[in-house]
């Protein structure tokens, strides 16, 4: 009996791992996220495969700008894939300088998805300081773009840092599993990165796979409004 249970458990694990390379059933809106690691992307080919949205890396830390961001940002607009940009956050660095790095790199327009704070490292910084710095980045970026940012994180960091402190923010959860992310009862995830070994024509190598927790219309509603976009552009200029 023990051997039988072990075999069944192994089969379930293998099936789960295999699913992480394929699109999940039961979701209407699918997307990807990329950075310079994917090098040059053929967005015309990507656009033929029911990719509804894409998040792309814009910045990291105080000074780094992804060298593929500008091209990817323009190409997503051209092929009419809903686009969003993210900043990889380092808790050891100034939140103000990191926000400034993102703002001077990313111009957002009508329909673009909210900015994303990518929180996946703590660098042994104290919890209170991490929470303060995350809030500072979020506040500065929200004031500039006139829209509430999204927080990207994983289950472990969500429960330790995000759950009790940032419940009013949209959550993009990384959980490489066929089981949906676990959240607060009164809150729910907006985006779910369920796999990091996906295959998409037009992109060499593996790519992260995501779904949106809603319809295409609801995804559209998350984007910058015309008034917000105009206000941001005027402030930026």
Q: Is 120 a catalytic residue?
A: yes
Query: The pTM is what?
Result: 0.88
Task: For residue 182, give the nearest of 156, 207, 216 by alpha carbon.
Answer: 156
Specify the pLDDT at position 121.
98
Specify the pLDDT at position 223.
94
DSSP conformation letters of 175-236: --SSSPPP--TT---SEEEEEEEE--TTS-S-EEEEEESS-HHHHHHHSPPHHHHHHHHHHH
Specify the pLDDT at position 235.
58
Q: Tell me the pLDDT band of 186, cut-offs 50, 70 and 90.
A: low
CATH number for region 2-236: 3.20.20.80
Whether 236 shows a pLDDT value over 70: the answer reads no
Specify the pLDDT at position 144.
97
Q: Is 33 a catalytic residue?
A: yes
pLDDT digit string, tens, across residues 51-97:
999 999 999 999 999 999 999 999 999 999 999 999 999 999 999 99
Q: Please tell me which residue in 33, 66, 112, 208 is annotated as part of the active site.
A: 33
Q: Could you tell me which residue, 71 or 227, shows the higher pLDDT?
A: 71
Specify the pLDDT at position 200.
95
Q: Please tell me which residue in 63, 96, 97, 120 is annotated as part of the active site.
A: 120
Q: Delimit the domains of the chain by residue range.
A: 2-236
Specify the pLDDT at position 154.
97
Residue 91, both tokens: 């808790």
Q: Tell me the pLDDT band of 39, cut-offs 50, 70 and 90.
A: confident
Task: For residue 92, give the nearest of 138, 137, 141, 129 by alpha carbon.
Answer: 129
């Amino acid at each position: 009996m023990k051997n039988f249970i072990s075999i069944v458990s192994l089969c379930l694990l293998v099936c789960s791992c295999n699913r992480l390379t394929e699109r999940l059933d039961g979701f209407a809106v699918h997307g990807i996220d990329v950075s310079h690691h994917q090098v040059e992307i053929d967005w015309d080919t990507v656009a033929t495969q029911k990719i509804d949205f894409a998040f792309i890396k814009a910045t990291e830390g105080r000074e780094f700008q992804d060298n593929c961001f500008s091209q990817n940002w323009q190409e997503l607009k051209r092929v009419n894939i809903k686009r969003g940009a993210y900043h990889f956050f380092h808790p050891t660095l100034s939140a103000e300088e990191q926000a400034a790095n993102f703002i001077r790199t990313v111009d957002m327009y009508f329909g673009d998805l909210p900015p994303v704070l990518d929180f996946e490292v703590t660098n042994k910084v104290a919890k209170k300081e991490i929470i303060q710095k995350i809030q500072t980045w979020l506040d500065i970026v929200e004031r500039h773009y006139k829209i509430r940012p999204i927080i990207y994180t994983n289950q472990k960091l969500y429960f330790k840092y995000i759950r009790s402190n940032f419940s009013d923010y949209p959550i993009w959860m990384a959980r490489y599993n066929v089981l949906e992310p676990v959240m607060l009862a009164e809150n729910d995830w907006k985006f779910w990165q369920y796999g990091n070994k996906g295959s998409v024509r037009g992109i060499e190598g593996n790519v992260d796979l995501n779904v949106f927790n809603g319809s295409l219309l609801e995804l559209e509603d998350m984007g910058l409004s015309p008034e917000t976009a105009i206000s941001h552009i005027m402030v930026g200029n």
